[in-house]
Amino acid sequence: MQSCINVLILIGILCSLLGVGAQNSAAGKPGEAIARSFLLGQRYYQQHFGKMARIDWLPDNFGHISQMPQILQQAGCDYFYFHRCKPFLGIFWWEGADGSKALCYDNDGYNGIIWLEQEINSFTN
């Protein structure tokens, strides 16, 4: 199964995501610990797929630090998906105190379907 996933990522059918390498809880963690998680996760992707993840995926964490957009940007992740502790539903820009931005998405429930075209239309209108 893993080799099949690796091939799909390498040929571009699946995107590489989860820049931190594993689900972590950002609540209460210092920024340095999160940055180190990104370093290890991105190193893994670079070694195994020849590229870095551009999407971070934290579907079941219990909070976010305010520096997350800055850490995402510095780790090479342009996009962020999460589920819990959401300020908005759908697609939105999360801007950090330093001006760094990440395009974020969150949905309203577990096991939900993401209707990408509908979400993009609601974001652009």
Q: ∠ CA(25), CA(16), CA(123), 5° rounding?
A: 80
88 assigned to some structural domain? yes
Catalytic residue (one of 60, 78, 98, 108): 60
The pLDDT, as a whole number, for residue 21 is 47
Domain count, the chain: 1
82 assigned to some structural domain? yes
Domain region containing 97: 16-124
37 assigned to some structural domain? yes
10 assigned to some structural domain? no
The pLDDT, as a whole number, for residue 82 is 80
5 assigned to some structural domain? no
9 assigned to some structural domain? no
Active site residue 108: no
CATH number, domain with residue 33: 3.20.110.10
Low-confidence ranges of the chain (pLDDT < 70): 1-29, 86-87, 109-125
In terms of pTM, does the model score above 0.95? Answer: no
3 assigned to some structural domain? no
